[in-house]
Chain A
Amino acid sequence: MANLANLYDVSKCTACRGCQVACKDWNQLPAVIEPFKGNYQTHEDTNGDTFTIINFFEYEDPVDGVRWNFIKRQCMHCLDPECMKVCPRQAYTKTSWGATLHDPDKCIGCQYCAAACPFDIPKYRKREDVITKCTMCADRVEEGLTPACARTCPSGALTFGDRDELLQKAEARAKFLRANGFPRATIYGRVELGGLNNLYVLTDTPDMFGLPVNPKVSGNITFWQDWIQPYFGWLIPLMLTASATSFVTSRILASKHGEHGEHGEGGHE
């Protein structure tokens, strides 16, 4: 089955946050009422009960004047997801059409995935000791519907569909924007981290939207996933052997030293 994706065109987003409410409605997530802190986005980030959020960034420079950039953040449903690789309990799975799903029943709340995600998406829900995140509304998509956020978007910033087709559309749109006042317009998600199932048309460079320009997985995680995790099964006998060896050798050494030691101690007595 072809990969399905969500295309988000920031040049058509008015930050009405209808997507945030639709997401909470469909997924029946409780409100997290925190005080207003001086930025329209109110919540600093996604959280255990908030799968998607619009971020607001204010900029000013002499050439472009004031700009107010909005961006929708949620799970990117990476083609090659890091969360899935680091999860010690295989709580993550990939659907045939591209969504990265997380099974809370298998989750032990270790939060390795939260640390591994280059986009800071999986969030810990303390009251249930599990990780939560956007599901790309798999329960809707598999019934032939579009995700709740795309369904509700009034201004046409969100489109759900075949990833390859959306990529073509995104390229054309970025080209149009580059010719119409946004020389740095670009697309995001085509190649980043091997490709994402959430594609972006941006009016400026990704850093102006708080997106990592060249998202990378941290060194520790690479070590974990490339060296430790693949050999996890081997590690146990290996470590058992190592500890057995260590036990035996230490006993031998101990018995050798022991003689001196006993004397020594005895000497103190």
Chain B
Amino acid sequence: MSPAFGRGVMTNHIVDLKNTDCALIMGSNAAENHPITMKWLFKAKEARGAKLIHVDPRFTRTSARADLYAPLRSGTDIAFLGGMVKYIIDNELYHKDYVVNFTNAAYLIKDEFEFKDGLFSGYDAEARKYDVKSWDYKTDDAGMALTDPTLQDPRCVFQLMKKHYERYDIDTVCKITGTPKDKYLAVLDTFCATGAPNKVGTIMYAMGITQHTVGSQNVKSFSNVQLLLGNMGRPGGGINALRGENNVQGATDMALLFHIIPGYIDSPMNSVAHKDLISFIRAVTPGAGKLPFTNLEEFRELVKAGFPNSGWKIHSSKWVVSLLKAWWGKAASKENDFGYHYLPKRDEKKNYSHIAMFEAMYKGEIDGLFINGSNPVVGGPNANKELEAMTKLKWMVSIDLWLNESADFWTHQAWERAVDNPNVAKISPENIGTEVFFLPAAAVYEKEGTAAQTGRWVQYRWKGAEPVGESKSDLWIYNELVKKVKKVYEGSKRPEDEPIVNMTWDVENEHGHDDPIKVANELCGYSTVDGKPVEGFAKLMDDGSTACGCWVYCGATTLKDGKFIYKPQLRDNKDNSKTGMGLYSNWGWAWPVNRRIVYNRCSVQPDGVTAWPGDEDRMLVRWDPLALADPKKPESLGSWVGDDVPDFIKTVGPSNPAFTKPFIMRPEGHGCLFAAKTSMKEGPFPEHYEPWESPTLNTLNSQVLNPATKVWEPEKQSKSEQYPIIGTTYRVVEHWQTGALTRNLPWLAELMPNMFVELSEELAREKGIKNGQNVIISNTRGDVEAVACVTKRFKPFQINGKTVHEIGLLWQYGFKGFATGDTANWLTPHVGDANTMIPEYKAWLCDIRRA
């Protein structure tokens, strides 16, 4: 979503689902994995007559509650949505005012840009990479993009998009996706009706969209649909990425992913472009590339004057310097580049994602591993290989509530298999040299702290019970660990030890206990002069006078009557919106700056004053020409006001060209139908490619696989001649993630006691499988035994005139706990999305037989 809108976050929030007119749930089983969303969707159905559409390979508990269910074959979302884009354009269902004013539809694209037979211009087949020079806007001499607001120029984004999706007609799409034509048409009719200015539709997705080799482009397709229909930045609309865990958003904000440092800033590399602080700032500030500056003082002047194609990220230097100040305190000074050289630099040519890490471990390149609240032996792709990789570690630390499968990977049970497979390693415990340490962790109710939920609400949780036995909170564990590490380095004068010696570590309160509030203080920012909280990221500085561990959290702390307030602890359950939109702005705190719905500038017409026709109740913000943005500056009249915090620079009025640029985090300021330059690895428009393991060829172009995806182990590809059945994996509501938490609880274990596989009655007949019988599912990577659940809810697909079966496995089982079973991830491949490297858990090939 970041290439389209500027931020990769759930745009709205869970309560806001009640404001929708139509919800398209695709690649998500919300009823099972995000049950609370259903409460608000039911309210939308009851109060607004909203329609609920579910698109999924299998009829699930979500489908059971949907008004309309349409099946599709796993891995064909781009075809499904590309057809939707064509339908919207052909039938002129797009929200014209919105598209012209708020998106880059009118931008002209360079003449060199072209698309031919599944490949965009600039492809290097050898390196499986694109040279993205031609994927860019035509500009005038000042560097500003040329546009055609009539959308008629053949080189404008709108026309190029129309041409790109010409091939995606309804019959072609249905042959690829296997969706019955009548169902597909019903989905198109129902959802595209939200293109009307007074209607708003939302899209909800989860791992069913992202866990593909084209996961990012799947999401980009959603962005295109929602921009065309004018559904972004409005209550009841948006693209709601439902996070797989309750604190994934928080973990990502803290830079869980390897390519970023906290606050979504690119992580520094060992390249020339990142060699010192000023080069790094040049590299991470959009539009700064060719500007003349050699130091921060000069750069500051340029920022103050403003430069084109930068957006809000023009302030990146303040975020970077404040981060360095937070981490190295007094040791970070102007003289030493604020300690920029202390930051570890990643190898420009290396990938550090989950798959890459385990491939490196498999090769013996990694000595030690910390596993904290994770269980790769069950949850990792190609889990047989990951299990084997762990035997090559010298040591491993597992921090968890239970001795889960990963903590006990060295036991006999971990290596037991129902079927002897030459591709699967057989290792005995006596041959495993890894030293394993286990640290018992406190459960969520036994510790304090915040979690940032899927809708970016950061909510504080107080401790409900004392930890059991010797288990400790994560903060306690890391505090003790860092204190020990610092002790080891104490007194060292070696320059390479400085990052540790000089690192600030201030997490203990006056009683000597580790305290989450101390962490919050560093995270949310404080003045290095007087120690007071910084009241918002607009006040962060790049001269060392502020420290802030993660700029997007800046503003969550404040002083009120001399008392320190941490806003995630706020618990006012009154809806502060006048029209009952359910913003609850004083319950917890949402980043950024407590905005509940991002891009909310779009909830009002381009003039900034008038609501979208017929939609007066869903206007979040507006331009008030008589309001004061800053009471101290009465000379500048006019300000953005509203029930929600405006996602806009408050003082930008109609006289400013940025007045109709609602996506402030994008350099263009507009929502991007065309993802320019380096935004996406495989092209500016989503194009359908088949999954790595697919039962069919690509009928839309001669590229089968996403041309920009890295193939890690070509020899492990399961071919459709031998493995004709599509396999997919998913969760059930009764178990949580890898099941370590829930399979150890008898009350949940009894509800879903065994690993099972769902298959259609047709496939069961073909294979002689009866409901409740044990079956074996196999492919090149392993074999899994499971109980057969023969159901009407799975149906064979008709793909290009051929019958193709799909089966679904629960991936939440392992050999520990009360509910046990084989691990479905023994079958999933080591291949991932070209941009994020998220593994393709959702579409691969296999075969099934009676056990």
Contacts and interface: CB of A to CB of B under 8 A. Distances in A.
Report if A and B associate in a common complex: yes
Q: Is the interface of B mostly helix, strand, loop or mixed?
A: mixed
A213 to B, nearest CB: 22
A154 B818 CA distance: 26
B39 A33 contact: no
Contact of B748 (A21, A36, A67): A21
A14 B36 contact: no
B751 A35 contact: no
A180 B733 CA distance: 28
B416 interface: no
A42 B750 contact: yes
A60 interface: yes
A68 B793 contact: yes
A14 B61 contact: yes
Given A35-B754, A154-B39, A17 B790 contact: no
Contact of A155 (B35, B69, B751): B35
B241 interface: no
A35 B755 CA distance: 10
B772 A37 contact: yes
Contacts of A42: 750-753
A25 interface: yes
A182 to B, nearest CB: 10
A175 interface: no
Interface string B740-778: 000000111111111010000000000000011000000
B749 A15 contact: no
Which of A18, A67, A155 has the most B CB atoms < 10 Å from its CB? A155
B64 interface: yes
B765 to A, nearest CB: 15
Given A38-B787, A181-B67, A16 B733 contact: yes
A162 B43 CA distance: 22
Given A12-B42, A33-B746, A65 B69 contact: yes
A176 interface: yes
Nearest to A70: B64
A36 B754 contact: yes
B435 interface: no
Q: Is the interface of A mostly helix, strand, loop or mixed?
A: loop
Contacts of A15: 31, 61, 64, 733
Given A60-B792, A68-B59, A156-B42, A30 B751 contact: no
Contacts of A59: 792
A31 B38 contact: no
B754 A176 contact: no
B54 to A, nearest CB: 12
B347 interface: no
Interface string A27-56: 000111111111110110000000000000
A240 interface: no
Contact of B32 (A16, A39, A58, A66): A16
Given A16-B733, A21-B748, A34-B750, A39 B38 contact: no
A11 interface: yes
A35 B64 contact: no
B848 interface: no
Contacts of B748: 21
Interface size class of A (residues with CB under 8 A): 35 or more
Contacts of A43: 750
A36 B787 contact: yes
Given A38-B771, A65-B69, A68-B59, A180 B746 contact: no
A203 B345 CA distance: 60
Interface string A130-170: 00000000000000000000000011100000000000000
B789 A38 contact: yes
B451 to A, nearest CB: 17
B157 interface: no
Nearest to A15: B61
Nearest to A24: B747
A11 B65 contact: yes
Contact of A31 (B67, B69, B746): B746
A33 B750 contact: yes
A17 B43 CA distance: 20
A66 B793 contact: yes
B337 interface: no
B35 A14 contact: yes
Contacts of A32: 750
A20 interface: yes
A67 B64 contact: yes
Contacts of A155: 31, 35-36, 38-39, 42
Contact of A21 (B32, B751, B754): B751
B46 interface: yes
A156 B37 CA distance: 11
Interface string A62-85: 000111111000000000000000
B41 to A, nearest CB: 9
Contacts of B734: 17
Contacts of A181: 67
Interface in B1-53: 31-32, 35-36, 38-39, 42-43, 45-46, 49
Contacts of A176: 46
A17 B733 contact: yes
Nearest to B734: A17
Which of A38, A43, A154 has the most B CB atoms < 10 Å from its CB? A38
Given A14-B65, A154-B35, A39 B789 contact: yes
Contacts of B800: none
A134 B752 CA distance: 22
B63 interface: yes
B788 interface: yes
Contacts of B753: 33-36, 42
A154 B34 CA distance: 10
A179 to B, nearest CB: 10
Interface string A228-246: 0000000000000000000
Given A14-B65, A42-B753, A68-B63, 9 more contacts: A21-B747, A24-B747, A31-B750, A36-B756, A66-B59, A66-B69, A70-B61, A155-B31, A156-B42
Interface of A: 11-12, 14-18, 20-21, 24-25, 30-40, 42-43, 58-60, 65-70, 154-156, 176, 180-181
The 10 residue pairs across chains A and B that have the minimum distance between CB atoms: A31-B746, A38-B772, A38-B771, A14-B31, A36-B754, A31-B750, A68-B64, A155-B38, A37-B772, A16-B733
Interface of B: 31-32, 35-36, 38-39, 42-43, 45-46, 49, 59, 61-65, 67, 69, 732-734, 746-754, 756, 771-772, 787-793, 795, 818-819
24 contacts: A14-B32, A14-B61, A16-B61, A18-B35, A21-B747, A31-B746, A31-B749, A31-B818, A32-B750, A33-B818, A36-B753, A36-B789, A37-B771, A38-B789, A40-B732, A40-B752, A58-B793, A66-B792, A67-B64, A68-B59, A154-B35, A155-B39, A156-B43, A180-B45
